[in-house]
């Protein structure tokens, strides 16, 4: 869900996804690249190559309409889950 969310905001290449996620949660390339491959195989992402001008071209990931729909579904489920947790723990639900 985090990977879908990041790429829904802007096209990203693999290391950029890893770097962005790693600032918030403990992840590494052995976790993220299989997720990117699986989401691409599920047609939630499409890829394209872009030249860097210095090194080899980078593979960028772009969310597809199917991926956006799946992310919206996951976000709805996540919100319901959090609401339940907050009710159980006595927290405030907005």
- Alpha-carbon distance 72 to 7, whole Å? 13
pTM metric for this prediction: 0.83
pLDDT tens across 32-88, in order?
999 999 999 999 999 999 987 788 899 999 999 999 999 999 999 999 999 999 888
- Give the largest Cα separation in the chain, rounded: 54
pLDDT of 53: 79
What is the tens place of the pLDDT at every residue in 3-39? 999 999 999 999 999 999 999 999 988 999 999 999 9
Pairing of strands 58-63, 45-50: antiparallel
> What CATH number matches the domain at 2-89, 3.90.1150.10, 1.10.10.10, 3.10.620.30, 2.40.30.10?
1.10.10.10
pLDDT beyond 60 at 94: no
Q: Sketch the domain layout of the chain as residue ranges.
A: 2-89
Pick 90 or 43 by higher pLDDT. 43
């Amino acid at each position: 869900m985090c990977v879908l969310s990041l790429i829904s905001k802007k096209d990203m290449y693999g290391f950029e996804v890893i770097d962005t996620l790693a600032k918030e949660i403990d992840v590494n390339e052995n976790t993220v690249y299989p997720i990117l491959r699986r989401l691409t195989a599920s047609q939630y992402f499409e890829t394209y190559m872009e030249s860097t001008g210095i090194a080899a071209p980078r593979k960028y990931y772009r969310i597809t309409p199917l991926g956006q729909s799946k992310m919206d579904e996951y976000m709805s489920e996540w919100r319901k889950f959090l609401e339940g947790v907050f009710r159980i723990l006595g927290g405030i639900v907005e």
